[in-house]
Chains A and B, each alone.
Chain A
Amino acid sequence: MNIVVCVKYVPDAQADRTFSQDNTTDRTNVDGLLSELDEYAVEEALKLAEAGEGEVTVVTVGPDGAAEAIKKALQMGADKGVHVLDDAIHGSDAPATSLVLAEAVKKAAGGSPELVLMGLASTDGTMSVVPAMLAERLGLPQITQLSSLEIADGKVTGRRDSDAASDTLEAPLPAVVSVTDQINEPRYPSFKGIMAAKKKPVETWSLADLGVDAGQVGLESAWTKVESFTARPPREQGEIVTDEGDGGTKLAEFLAKAKLI
C-alpha cells in the first residue's frame, strides 16, 4: 500500500511563539519542528507499511526549514519526502494549503494515493480543517480524528471517540484519514534511522511544478487573515492562602472574589 502522510513544520510549542510583521506566524525567529501531532500519522503509516507491502511518502508545504519536518519523518522510517517550497505560498490559509497539498499528493502518488494520513491538527494553527478540505479537493472519502485504524478488504475502519460516544466509521479506499494522539505511541528515530535518512530521496517542488497558479495562494488570496494580535499577559503570581484555622473561609472568599462561586 502506498501511503502519503501530510505533515507540517511548526514553531516549537515550548518556545515563545509570536507573529511576524505581516501578522503571519513567525517561522524564522522560533525553532521549528515536525508538528508533534503529525508524528502519530507518521507512526500509523509506518505500522501499516511494516505490516504489509508498501511505501510511505511524506509531503509538506512550508518554508526552507520545513525540510526538518521531512527529515524527522524519514528518520522515523518513512521512505521518501516531498517538500513544496515556493515564496508565493507564504501566508496561505487552510483552503490554499489544501489546494497545494492536493496537487502535491496526486503528483507524489502518481495519480490517486491509496491512503492519505494526517494528524489531528497542526500545533500552530490548530484548525483541524485541512484533512476535510484535502479530501474534498481529491474527491475522496474522509474519516477524521480516528483513535484506532484498520485496513482490510479495500476498506479503512476506525474508531472516533467523542465525549458522549465512540463511533466506528468505515470508508472505501482510497481515503483521507486523520488520526488523534491516542492512536499509537510514535517511535523515536533510531540511530540507524538517523543515518539512513541521509540517503533517502527528497524532492522539492515549486507551485509551477504542481501546476498551481500563484494567484490562488498566499497572503493576498487568503480568505481569512489576522487583523491584529496581542501578547498574552504574563501569568500573575499565585496567592497563597495560609490556613490558620480559617482556611475554608479564606478559600471561599478567594473564590467569591474571583466570581467563581
Chain B
Amino acid sequence: MSAPNPALTKLLATDGLLEEDERDLAAVVRRFGDEKLRPHLAEWFEAGTVPARELAPELGKLGLLGMHLDGYGCAGSTATQYGLACLELEAADSGIRSLMSVQGSLAMTAIHKFGSEEQKQEWLPRMAAGEALGCFGLTEPDFGSDPAGMRTRARRDGDDWVLNGSKMWITNGPVADVAVVWAQTDDPSTSSGRGKIRGFVVPTDTPGFEATEIEHKLSLRASITGSLAFTDLRLPGDAVLPEVAGLRGPLSCLSEARFGILFGAMGAARECLEIALAYAESRKVFDKSLSGYQITQTKLADMAVELMKGTLLAIHLGRRKDAGAITNEQVSVGKLNNCREAIKIARECRTILAANGITLDYPVMRHANNLESVMTYEGTSEVHQLIIGQALTGESAFR
C-alpha cells in the first residue's frame, strides 16, 4: 500500500494550485483506491481480470463515470476535477482508470456529444450510475493509427443499417452492454462509393454481435480487453449517432480520453516514486539505507523533477481546458510527455526495488507494464510527436 510521502508532497507543492473541492475529491478517490482497489490489484493483475461489473456501480456512486458531462445523471465536473480523479485512480492501476476513461470519455462522451435525445435518455443515466457498461469500437486489427482505413462497413438496407467487420483492443468489450461502433458507410453518389464514417449505438445483445476476450496480455491485466465481430448485424435506422459524420467524431472523443490519461499517467508515476522512496529508506545496503547513497538520490531527484514537471503540465492543461482554450496539440504535448516520463519513472523505481521490484508484492513493475499500453492507446507517442510536429511546421508527416 502506498502512503503519501510528506517530503515529496512538500516538494511538489501542487496542492496550492488546487481548489479545496479539487483536493477533497482527490483525497476521496485516493481513499477509495486504498480501501477498494489496492488490496486486490495484485490478485486481479495476476488473474488477468477485474470485476468490472462490480466496480462500475461503485465508481458510479462516487460520481466518476462521465463526470465531466452535464445532465443525464452525470456530475458536471470541471476538466481539472475529472483529471484529478483519473490521476488518483491510475495511481492504483491504469486498468481501473481505463475502465473509467472508456466509459466516460469515450462511450458516454460519444453519445452525449453526438447522440439523439432518445439515445442519451436510454443510455447515459444508467452508464453514469455504472449499471450499464459501454465500450468504444474504433481500432481494428489492421488499422490503429490510421483509422480512416477501417474495414468495418455499415450498409443501408431500407431504413435499417447492417454492420459487418471487426474491432480490436476494445477495453470493456466483453463486459459491455452497449458498444459505440464506428463504421465506414457506403455512398454510391461518390466516385469511390464510400460515404462518411458514422457512429452507431449497438446494444451488445443484438444478433450478429460477438465479443471475444483478448488473453495473454502482459500489460493492463486488471482490465478486460476484447475484440468485437459484427456479422450481418442489423440495426434500426435510429441507431446511428445523428450529430456527426466523419473521423472528427471518434477523434474528438479520443482527445477527451487523452486528456484524462495525461493526468492519470502522473498518478502511476507518483505511486511508483512513493513506493521507491519508502523502500529506499527501509532497505539497508552495507549497513546503511539505500536512500543514503548518491546514486539512489540521483535517481530519486531526477524522478521527482519529472513528476513535478508532468503534474504541473497536467494542471496547466486542466486550467486551459476549463477556460475553453485547450488545443488538440496541447493535449498531445501532455499525453506524450506524461506517458513517456511515467514509464521511465516506473522503470527507474524498479531498479531501486531491485529483485523485489519484479514481483506483484510492489506495484512498480505492474505500473511499468501498464504504461506500455497507456503510451500506445489513444494515440501512440509517435502519433503525438507528429501532431506536435505538424503544429510547429505546418507540414503533415503522417504518411
Contacts and interface: CB of A to CB of B under 8 A. Distances in A.
B55 interface: no
B399 to A, nearest CB: 42
Interface stretch (B60-68, B174-182, B209-217, B300-308): B60-68
B63 A190 contact: yes
**Which size class do B's interface residues fall under?**
10 to 19
B21 interface: yes
B130 to A, nearest CB: 12
Interface stretch (A83-91, A111-119, A191-199): A191-199
Given A14-B3, A187-B61, A192 B24 contact: no
Contacts of B81: 191
Nearest to B32: A188
A188 B61 contact: yes
Interface in B51-102: 61-64, 67, 75, 77, 81, 85
Contacts of B32: 188
A191 B77 contact: yes
Contacts of B62: 188, 190-191
Nearest to B29: A188
A62 to B, nearest CB: 19
A188 B3 CA distance: 19
A194 B3 contact: no
Contacts of B25: 191, 194
Given A190-B61, A190-B62, A192-B63, A75 B24 contact: yes
A189 interface: yes
A192 B75 contact: yes
Contacts of B21: 194-195, 198
B162 to A, nearest CB: 40
A193 B75 CA distance: 10
A38 to B, nearest CB: 15
Contacts of B61: 187-188, 190
B31 interface: yes
Interface string B265-286: 0000000000000000000000
B31 A191 contact: no
B28 interface: yes
Contacts of B28: 75, 188-189, 194
Nearest to B77: A191
Contacts of A195: 21, 75
Contacts, number: 35
Nearest to A187: B61
Interface in A15-47: none
A188 B26 CA distance: 12
A71 B67 CA distance: 22
Q: Which of A14, A187, A189, A198 has the most CB of B within 10 A?
A: A189
Contact of A189 (B24, B64, B67, B75): B24
Contacts of A14: 3
Contacts of A191: 25, 62-64, 67, 75, 77, 81, 85
B260 to A, nearest CB: 15
Contacts of A190: 61-63, 75
Nearest to A75: B24
A82 B76 CA distance: 29
A50 to B, nearest CB: 13
Nearest to B22: A194
A191 B75 CA distance: 7
A43 to B, nearest CB: 13
Nearest to B3: A14
Contacts of B77: 191
Contacts of B3: 14
A191 B22 CA distance: 10
Q: Which of B24, B61, B62 has the most CB of A within 10 A?
A: B24
Nearest to B60: A190
B75 A188 contact: no
Contacts of A192: 63, 75
A71 B64 CA distance: 20
Contacts of A189: 24, 28
Contacts of A198: 21
Contacts of B67: 191
Contacts of B75: 190-192, 195
Contacts of B64: 191
B219 to A, nearest CB: 29
Contacts of B31: 188
Interface string A206-234: 00000000000000000000000000000
A194 B25 CA distance: 7
B18 to A, nearest CB: 13
A190 B130 CA distance: 14
Interface string B230-271: 000000000000000000000000000000000000000000
Interface in A156-200: 187-195, 198
A201 to B, nearest CB: 17
Interface in A42-95: 71, 75
A188 B28 CA distance: 7
15 contacts: A14-B3, A71-B24, A75-B24, A187-B61, A188-B32, A188-B61, A188-B62, A191-B25, A191-B64, A191-B67, A192-B75, A194-B25, A194-B28, A195-B21, A195-B75
Interface of A: 14, 71, 75, 187-195, 198
The 8 closest A-B pairs by CB, nearest first: A191-B63, A190-B63, A191-B75, A194-B24, A192-B63, A189-B28, A194-B21, A188-B28
